[in-house]
A = this chain, B = another copy of it.
Amino acid sequence: MKQMTIYDIAKLANVSVATVSRVINSTAPVKDSTRKKIEALIQQYQFQPNAMARSLLKKETGIIGIIVPDLTNPFYTEVLAGAETEAFTTGHTFLLTNTIGNYEKESSYLSMLREKRVDGMIFLGGRINLRNGNDELDQELIQHASTIPTVLINGTVKGNVLTRVATDEYKGTCMAVQHLIDYGHKHIAFLGGEMHMSTTSSKLRAFKKTLKDARLQVREEWILPDSFSIDSGRKQMQQLLSLKKKPTAVFCVNDFVAIGAIKTAVDQGFNVPDDISVVGFDDIPLSHHFIPEITTVSQEAHELGRTAIQVLQKLMSHEKVKKHTAIEPKLMIRKSSAAYRR
Give residues in A with beta carbon < 8 Å to B. Answer: 1-3, 46, 48-53, 55-56, 61, 63, 66, 70-72, 74, 77-78, 80-81, 84, 88, 91, 93-98, 105, 109, 111-112, 114-117, 143, 146-147, 230, 259-260, 262-263, 266, 285-286, 289-291
Asked if A115 and B291 sit within 8 Å, CB to CB, the answer is: no
**Nearest 7 Cβ contacts at the A-B interface:** A51-B115, A96-B96, A84-B98, A94-B96, A71-B81, A52-B52, A51-B116
A260 to B285, Cβ gap below 8 A?
Answer: no
Residue contact A95 to B98, C-beta cutoff 8 Å: no
Give bound CA distance, A212 to B70, whole Å. 44
Contacts A88-B105, A95-B95, A291-B266 hold; do A81 and B74 have CB atoms under 8 A apart? no
- CB distance A117 to B74 under 8 Å? no
Count chain B CB atoms within 10 A of each CB in A53, A56, A94, A116 and give the residue with the most. Answer: A116
Q: How far is the CA of A244 from the CA of B78 in the complex (A)?
A: 41
Residues of B within 8 Å of A61, CB to CB, are 52
A3 / chain B contacts, CB cutoff of 8 Å:
117, 147
Question: Considering the chains assembled together, what is the distance between the CA atoms of A293 and B74 in angstroms?
Answer: 19
- Are the CB atoms of B72 and A147 closer together than 8 Å? no
A50 to chain B, nearest CB (A): 6
CB neighbours of A291 from chain B (8 A): 262-263, 266, 290-291
Distance to closest chain B CB from A87 (angstroms): 10
Contacting pair B96 A116 (CB below 8 A): no
If A51-B115, A72-B74, A259-B286 are given as contacts, then 4 extra A-B residue pairs at C-beta distance below 8 Å, sorted by A number, are A50-B115, A71-B84, A93-B96, A93-B112
Complex partner residue of A80 from B2, B55, B71, B285, CB under 8 angstroms: B71
Interface pairs (27), CB distance under 8 Å: A1-B146, A1-B147, A3-B147, A48-B111, A50-B56, A50-B115, A50-B117, A51-B115, A52-B116, A56-B56, A63-B95, A66-B96, A70-B81, A71-B80, A71-B81, A71-B84, A72-B78, A74-B74, A84-B96, A91-B112, A93-B95, A93-B96, A94-B97, A95-B96, A263-B289, A290-B291, A291-B291
